[in-house]
Amino acid sequence: ITRMTQSIPDLKRDFNLATHRPPGWREGYFTNQYDHRLRYGHAPATGSDRRGTIVLTHGYGEFIDQYYLAIQDYQRMGFDVWAMDHYGFG
């Protein structure tokens, strides 16, 4: 019988990564044609091999802060990431 081992998640590390802004994160606001103020963010690639740009759009009822872990993963893979909150979120 083969015994499978699973790695134990480091919840403290994962929480810190998920709640801290990605490296180089910058955010701002712009106003659309309806005078609504919308938040956006940009995180530059951190990998040595730049591969391109990702535009992250979130689902209904969410905001870009919930995607900090995914953004950090994309950065490490060499992607710049741009994200924007939909009107009424963030």
Res. 3: pLDDT tops 60: no
pLDDT higher than 90, residue 89:
no
Please report which confidence band the pLDDT of residue 14 belongs to, taking 50, 70 and 90 as the band edges: confident
Lowest-confidence region among 11-20, 25-34, 46-55: 11-20
Distances (CA, A) of 10 to 7, 16, 81: 9, 10, 26
For the entire predicted model, the pTM comes to: 0.76
* CB-based contacts of 43, cutoff 8 Å, min separation 6: 22, 23, 24, 25, 26, 71, 72, 74, 75, 80, 81
Alpha-carbon distance of 86 to 51, in angstroms, equals 26
Distance CA 71, CA 61 (A): 19
pLDDT score of 6 more than 70: no
Judge contact between 44 and 76, C-beta under 8 A.
no
